[in-house]
């Protein structure tokens, strides 16, 4: 059955495409028709033809090797580094793509010729390059190098630096990350660029003729042989041209196949819950993979001290995480949470402040700002970062992913593998050890990421919303796993979920506007919220005001008599700042003011209706209410108009506005 495209191709496009294809194909067909097939084999196997073909293949292979040796580092620098003059350097590197080859040959001649910039020095040393086979290789390299650099730089930019960041926080040095992570991820682009470079080197003519000349057996490549035979023996020129076309077609086909290579093993994790993707046993246990009789001790929990200022992001934070403590950091988007984790992990360089782990300074800035000795690179910190995306290395198996940290620390392969198996067993996915990340569900991938972070034995574990990308089926199970494996570790977790804070954290820190606005145990922060953000997470209405004759004056027009609920004795202190919280489920909405004297009533504009599962959140300027769908539907026409919000006075818990 043929596949029907989602959108049709206009007839005009098809016609123009056909004309373009004919423009390319017809000349090749005409050349094929011109070949003297009776003499084809003798023509292409003559001594001069074979000599030129073999020389072209040898020099093209050598030029391709040079392109890889020089082009890969150049592409990495252009894609990853930032420095003044970078755009100019990129333009110069890619310049041979647009230069006439003969110009390149002249440039090479005046560089390596006997009277060239370097040629004179080389001549004194007895080295002659111009008009030699070496000159052919250099000419081919000069015109072919940009193909590899351009192909690989684009691939590096597409892949990004996320996997390299993960590798660094697992303890991998930059060279290790490049060798084991970056280059394997872009290997198809390296191969594709090398093949294209080989193709360009094979067809090189102008620069070779200008710089190397045409000496049979020494510098006369196949394109030069074709050029010379065109004047003396056209039949031989056509036959050799066909050979070159066939070789070029094969090379281009291989480049296209390799360049489009996308292994399914490296695909993104699926969204299905773990229950739908049972583990698959790998190749079975081996003696050297069996868990050791006594597991090596985990890294001891360490004390983290953070004083941090990042001017560009308006972040100024101070907090301490005690050894073995899990601290949940919560705050609205843009509050500075990710900046905090990035600074601790070594991914963000602060403008001022001090970050220390058990007294060892990870970074210190301010008085000696910019001093390299006051900032440790990420791989030296003993800090692991686990993001909401697992970011498992797609080219490695699950076992290899988890063993990556121990191997980066220099531990033997067998020991690293045993550690990886133990950590996978700890999070319940040991049976997935032989799989690749593309074969895992989202929940399975996140469990593997947790095991990988633990296997590096970090002094501090940073979790950046590790449950945010998971579905409701997977999240509770992974939350229980985290609660078990994070015990007695020093952990900082960023989350938007109050349930994560209640179940995982010993202490909660609220961050807003780049500042710590509240901290305490989860019960202290959420049961008696001091900020609207905390109240929203806790699912309650928060109203703050001052005591005014036994009631709470919120503003000039609103004065609430909430003095019969818990904490009412606070209302005896005239002028004191107090807050009270009322669950939205205990608030009602009506068009007319309720007559019940036990209810406190507030008149305000109905702002919007927000469906929340079985209820609808009805929002007002001061209070919100959770109502059933039928009652909410009756209010739909009143959005933007004033209504009455009311609640029983005894339902409001009064407490101090500032934490004591």
CATH of the domain spanning 52-262, picked from 1.10.3720.10, 1.10.760.10, 3.20.20.100, 3.40.640.10? 1.10.3720.10
CA distances from 24 to 29, 31, 446 (A): 9, 12, 50
Whether the pLDDT of residue 273 is over 50: the answer is: no
- Ranges of H-type helices in 160-309: 162-169, 174-177, 183-185, 187-202, 206-212, 222-232, 234-259
The structure tokens listed for 580 are: 């009270």
CA atoms within 13 A on the CB side of 30: 6
User: Buried b / exposed e across 166-185, counting CB within 10 Å, b at 16+?
Assistant: bbbbbbbeeebbbebbbbbb
The structure tokens listed for 326 are: 């899990």
Contact yes or no for 222/243 (Cβ under 8 A):
yes
Q: What is the pLDDT of residue 256?
A: 64
CA distance linking residue 531 with residue 518, whole number of Å: 8
Whether the pLDDT of residue 616 is over 50: the answer is: yes
Whether the pLDDT of residue 538 is over 50: the answer is: yes
Confidence of residue 299 (pLDDT cuts 50, 70, 90): low
Q: Which of 7-21, 135-149, 544-558 has the lowest mean pLDDT?
A: 544-558
Domain spans in the chain, listed from the N-terminal domain onward: 52-262, 299-524, 539-656
The structure tokens listed for 237 are: 């020129």
Q: 138-176, pLDDT tens digit by residue?
A: 999 999 999 999 999 999 999 999 999 999 999 999 999
CA distance linking residue 603 with residue 582, whole number of Å: 16
Quote the mean pLDDT of the chain: 84
CA distance linking residue 530 with residue 522, whole number of Å: 13
The structure tokens listed for 441 are: 């569900």
Whether the pLDDT of residue 521 is over 60: the answer is: yes
Provide, rounded to the nearest whole percent, the portion of the chain with pLDDT above 90. 37
Whether the pLDDT of residue 292 is over 60: the answer is: no
State the average pLDDT over residues 226-245.
Answer: 87
Provide, rounded to the nearest whole percent, the portion of the chain with pLDDT above 70. 89
Q: Count the neighbouring beta carbons within 10 Å of the beta carbon of residue 107.
A: 19
CA distance linking residue 9 with residue 385, whole number of Å: 47
Whether the pLDDT of residue 300 is over 70: the answer is: no
| Distance from the first to the final alpha carbon of the chain | 73
Whether the pLDDT of residue 99 is over 60: the answer is: yes
CA dihedral 369, 373, 377, 381 (to 10 degrees): -110
Q: What is the pLDDT of residue 621?
A: 86
Q: 559-593, pLDDT tens digit by residue?
A: 777 655 556 666 667 777 888 888 999 999 999 99
Beta-ladder partners of 515: 512
State the average pLDDT over residues 335-353.
Answer: 91
Phi/psi of residue 228, nearest 5 degrees:
-70, -40
* Closest by CA position to 386, among listed 344, 430, 415, 331: 344
Architecture of domain 299-524: 3-Layer(aba) Sandwich (3.40)
Q: 114-125, pLDDT tens digit by residue?
A: 888 888 788 777
Q: 194-215, pLDDT tens digit by residue?
A: 988 998 999 898 999 888 888 8
Contact yes or no for 576/546 (Cβ under 8 A):
yes
Crossing angle of helices 442-455/474-485, nearest 10°?
10
Contact yes or no for 658/617 (Cβ under 8 A):
no
Q: Which residues contact 447 (CB under 8 A, 6 or more apart)?
A: 274, 427, 428, 429, 478, 481
CA distance linking residue 89 with residue 495, whole number of Å: 43
539-656: CATH number: 2.40.50.100
The structure tokens listed for 340 are: 């905090």
Whether the pLDDT of residue 367 is over 50: the answer is: yes
* Tokens 């919560």, located at residue: 330
CA distance linking residue 419 with residue 406, whole number of Å: 8
Q: 275-284, 419-428, 551-560 — which one is most confidently predicted on average?
A: 419-428
Q: Which residues contact 522 (CB under 8 A, 6 or more apart)?
A: 328, 498, 501, 502, 505, 507, 508
CA distance linking residue 454 with residue 170, whole number of Å: 9
Contact yes or no for 380/456 (Cβ under 8 A):
no
Whether the pLDDT of residue 272 is over 70: the answer is: no
């Amino acid at each position: 059955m043929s596949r029907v495209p989602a959108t049709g191709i206009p007839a005009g496009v098809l016609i123009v495409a056909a004309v373009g294809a004919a423009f390319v194909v017809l000349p090749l067909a005409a050349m094929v028709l011109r070949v003297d097939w009776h003499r084809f084999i003798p023509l292409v196997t003559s001594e001069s033809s074979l000599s030129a073909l073999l020389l072209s293949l040898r020099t093209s292979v050598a030029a391709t090797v040079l392109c890889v040796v020089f082009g890969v580092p150049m592409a990495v620098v252009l894609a990853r580094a930032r420095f003044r003059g970078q755009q100019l350097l990129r333009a110069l590197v890619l310049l041979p793509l647009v230069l006439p080859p003969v110009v390149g040959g002249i440039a090479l001649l005046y560089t390596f010729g006997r009277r060239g910039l370097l040629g004179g020095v080389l001549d004194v040393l007895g080295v002659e390059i111009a008009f030699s086979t070496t000159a052919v290789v250099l000419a081919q390299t000069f015109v072919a190098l940009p193909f590899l650099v351009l192909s690989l730089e684009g691939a590096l930019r597409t892949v990004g630096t996320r996997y390299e960041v993960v590798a660094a926080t697992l303890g991998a040095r930059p060279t290790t990350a490049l060798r084991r992570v970056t280059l394997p991820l872009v290997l198809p682009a390296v191969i594709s660029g090398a093949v294209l470079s080989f193709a360009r080197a094979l067809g090189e003519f102008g620069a070779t003729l200008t710089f190397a000349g045409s000496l049979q057996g020494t510098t006369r490549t196949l394109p030069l042989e074709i050029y010379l035979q065109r004047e003396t023996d056209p039949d031989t020129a056509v036959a050799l041209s066909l050979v070159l076309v066939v070789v070029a077609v094969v090379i281009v086909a291989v480049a296209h196949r390799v360049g489009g290579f996308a292994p399914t093993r490296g695909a993104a994790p699926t969204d299905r819950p773990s229950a739908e993707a049972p583990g698959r046993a790998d190749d079975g246990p081996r003696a050297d993979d069996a868990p050791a009789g006594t597991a090596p001790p985990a890294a001891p929990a360490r004390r983290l001290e953070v004083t941090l200022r990042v001017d560009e992001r308006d972040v100024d934070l101070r907090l301490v995480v005690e050894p073995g403590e899990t601290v949940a950091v919560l705050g609205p988007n843009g509050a500075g949470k990710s900046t905090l984790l990035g600074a601790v992990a070594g991914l963000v360089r602060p403008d001022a402040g001090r970050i220390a782990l058990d007294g060892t300074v990870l970074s210190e800035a301010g008085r000696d700002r910019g001093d390299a000795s006051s900032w440790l690179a990420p791989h030296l910190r003993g800090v692991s970062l686990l993001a909401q995306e697992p970011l498992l290395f797609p080219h490695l198996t699950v076992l290899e992913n988890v063993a990556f940290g121990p191997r980066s620390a220099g531990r033997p392969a067998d020991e690293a593998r045993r550690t990886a198996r133990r950590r996978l067993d700890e999070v319940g996915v040991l049976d997935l050890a032989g799989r690749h990340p593309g074969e895992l569900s989202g929940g399975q991938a996140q469990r593997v990421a947790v095991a990988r972070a633990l296997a590096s034995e970090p002094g501090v574990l940073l979790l950046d919303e590790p449950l945010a990308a998971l579905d409701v089926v997977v999240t509770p199970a992974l939350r229980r796993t985290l609660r078990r494996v994070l015990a007695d570790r020093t952990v900082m977790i960023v989350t938007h979920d109050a349930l994560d804070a209640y179940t995982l954290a010993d202490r909660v820190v609220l961050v807003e506007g780049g500042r710590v606005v509240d901290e305490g145990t989860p019960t202290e922060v959420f049961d008696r919220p001091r900020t609207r953000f905390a109240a929203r997470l806790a699912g309650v209405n928060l109203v703050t005001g001052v005591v005014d004759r036994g009631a709470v004056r919120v503003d000039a027009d609103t004065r609430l008599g909430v003095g019969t609920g818990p904490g009412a004795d606070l209302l005896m202190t005239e002028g004191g700042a107090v807050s009270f919280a009322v669950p939205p489920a205990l608030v009602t909405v009506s068009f007319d003011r309720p007559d019940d004297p036990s209810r406190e009533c507030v008149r305000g504009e109905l702002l919007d209706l927000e469906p929340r599962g079985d209820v609808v959140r009805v929002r007002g300027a001061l209070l919100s209410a959770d109502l059933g769908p039928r009652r909410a539907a009756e209010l739909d026409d009143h959005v933007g108009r004033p209504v009455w919000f009311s609640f029983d006075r005894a339902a409001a818990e009064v407490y101090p506005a500032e934490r004591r």
